[in-house]
């Protein structure tokens, strides 16, 4: 075992690591990089452990548990592989993985949250640069959904069959101009349309974002909305007016950052997210949420990577047609027309 149980007058405690285990020798050698084994840089791993620090006076130390969890993600969710590498029982790995995933998901706000008011102008300027037009300086985020492949349950498996023809859960996310996730919602099976996922998400129900004067941008699978949230989508193709074509061009450049964010996340955790998740469908949303959490940790520490081309091709696949408006929704066609007209000035 990696820890030796010792007893004192206060009862049993776990205190001493067996640093002869190769993976732990790697961790304790501060000159060695971690990315090949853990998919995180040493700096990102250290800051992750600091961010998730908690009091723990029994069982495995939280630093070791985080190492085990990220190794599990990096190597395709294999409890057997982690047990062998860390020289601990597979049942222990299972308990640790579930404990860490649940802890991260209870603390998502430590890395994933909407920006404060004083950061909005900077985010808007970032989208203006992405789009190539100052008209998009009012953008507070890009929104989209991504399908994460899973092994469906025997019962109600058709609920998980998406329009692409495989079983999945749907991850909705909003990101800023740097590809950092501001909000995620991982709750619905793959057959549910992106629009319905968005309308049932926490942020949309609470009308928590974007703030007044700002908008979100999304692809043509979403409705162009003024209320209950402000979401601007492209003009429906094919467009014939030059103004509409210009708007769609710049709009596409602005919103493409969300596809890149998904691509970066899936590339980092390729062994986990580019195949069917090897966990129960009820646990899969927690795994996906932790991947998004770690994506932000890496970006915050300058640990960036380029998305693999095959993953980007998958992310950029076309979406199903948008759903009709509901009685409490107002279209934002006039606002979109106004933005398009400003590009002629």
pTM equals 0.90
Identify whether 283 is part of a domain: yes
Among 75, 110, 145, which residue terminates a domain?
110
Identify whether 298 is part of a domain: yes
Domain check: are 176 and 297 in the same one?
A: yes
pLDDT tens string 214-236: 999 999 999 999 989 999 999 99
Domain check: are 125 and 68 in the same one?
A: no
- The fraction of the chain above a pLDDT of 70, given in percent, is 88
CA distance 35 to 269: 11
- Residues spanned by the domain of 97: 22-110
Among 110, 130, 146, which residue terminates a domain?
110
Identify whether 335 is part of a domain: yes
Tell me the pLDDT band of 13, cut-offs 50, 70 and 90.
very low
Identify whether 4 is part of a domain: no
Among 84, 110, 136, which residue terminates a domain?
110
Identify whether 9 is part of a domain: no
Domain check: are 101 and 134 in the same one?
A: no
- Mean pLDDT of the region 86-91: 91
Residue 278 or 327, more confident: 278
Domain check: are 169 and 314 in the same one?
A: yes
Identify whether 7 is part of a domain: no
- The fraction of the chain above a pLDDT of 90, given in percent, is 74
Domain check: are 202 and 259 in the same one?
A: yes
Identify whether 14 is part of a domain: no
Domain check: are 135 and 87 in the same one?
A: no
Mean pLDDT check: name the lowest of 52-66, 104-118, 249-263, 279-293. Answer: 52-66
Domain check: are 217 and 86 in the same one?
A: no
Identify whether 230 is part of a domain: yes
Domain check: are 125 and 86 in the same one?
A: no
Domain check: are 140 and 228 in the same one?
A: yes
Q: Above 80 in pLDDT, residue 209? A: yes
Q: Above 70 in pLDDT, residue 95? A: yes
Q: In the prediction, which pLDDT does 344 show?
A: 76
Domain check: are 187 and 316 in the same one?
A: yes
Domain check: are 142 and 100 in the same one?
A: no
Tell me the pLDDT band of 286, cut-offs 50, 70 and 90.
very high
Q: In the prediction, which pLDDT does 312 show?
A: 74
Tell me the pLDDT band of 290, cut-offs 50, 70 and 90.
very high
pLDDT tens string 124-152: 999 999 999 999 999 999 999 999 999 99
pLDDT tens string 294-326: 999 999 999 988 888 877 766 666 666 665 555
Q: Above 90 in pLDDT, residue 289? A: yes
Q: For the chain, what is the domain count?
A: 2
Domain check: are 223 and 293 in the same one?
A: yes
Residue 50 to residues 44, 62, 306, Cα–Cα distance (Å): 10, 10, 26
Q: In the prediction, which pLDDT does 166 show?
A: 95
Instruction: Give the chain's mean pLDDT.
Output: 89
């Amino acid at each position: 075992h990696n820890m030796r149980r010792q007893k004192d007058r206060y009862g049993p405690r776990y205190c001493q690591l067996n640093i002869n285990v190769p993976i732990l020798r790697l961790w304790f050698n501060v000159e060695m990089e971690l990315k090949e084994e853990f998919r995180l840089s040493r700096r990102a791993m250290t800051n992750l452990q600091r961010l998730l620090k908690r009091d723990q006076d029994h069982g495995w130390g939280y630093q070791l548990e985080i190492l085990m969890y990220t190794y599990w993600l990096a190597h395709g969710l294999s409890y057997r592989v982690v047990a062998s590498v860390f020289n601990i029982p597979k049942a222990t790995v299972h308990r640790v993985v579930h404990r860490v995933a649940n802890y991260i998901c209870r603390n998502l706000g430590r890395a994933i949250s909407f920006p404060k008011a004083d950061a909005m102008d900077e985010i808007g300027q970032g989208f203006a640069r992405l789009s190539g037009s100052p008209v998009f300086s009012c953008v507070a985020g890009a929104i989209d959904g991504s399908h994460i492949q899973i092994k469906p349950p025997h019962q109600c498996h058709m609920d998980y069959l998406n329009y692409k023809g495989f079983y999945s859960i749907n991850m909705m996310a909003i990101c800023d101009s740097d590809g950092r996730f501001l909000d995620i919602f991982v709750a619905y099976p793959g057959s549910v349309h992106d629009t319905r996922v968005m309308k049932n998400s926490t942020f949309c129900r609470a009308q928590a974002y974007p703030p007044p004067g700002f908008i979100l941008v999304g692809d043509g699978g979403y409705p162009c909305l003024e209320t209950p949230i402000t979401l601007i989508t492209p003009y429906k193709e094919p467009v014939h007016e030059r103004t509409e074509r210009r708007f769609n061009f710049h709009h596409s450049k602005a919103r493409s950052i969300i596809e890149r964010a998904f691509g970066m996340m899936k590339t980092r955790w390729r062994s986990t997210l580019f195949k069917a998740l090897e966990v129960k469908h009820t646990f899969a949303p927690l795994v996906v949420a932790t991947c998004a959490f770690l994506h932000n940790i890496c970006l915050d520490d300058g640990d960036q990577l380029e998305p693999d081309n095959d993953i980007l091709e998958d992310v950029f696949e076309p979406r199903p047609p948008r759903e009709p408006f509901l009685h409490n929704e107002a279209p934002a066609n006039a606002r979109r027309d106004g933005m398009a007209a400003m590009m002629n000035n």
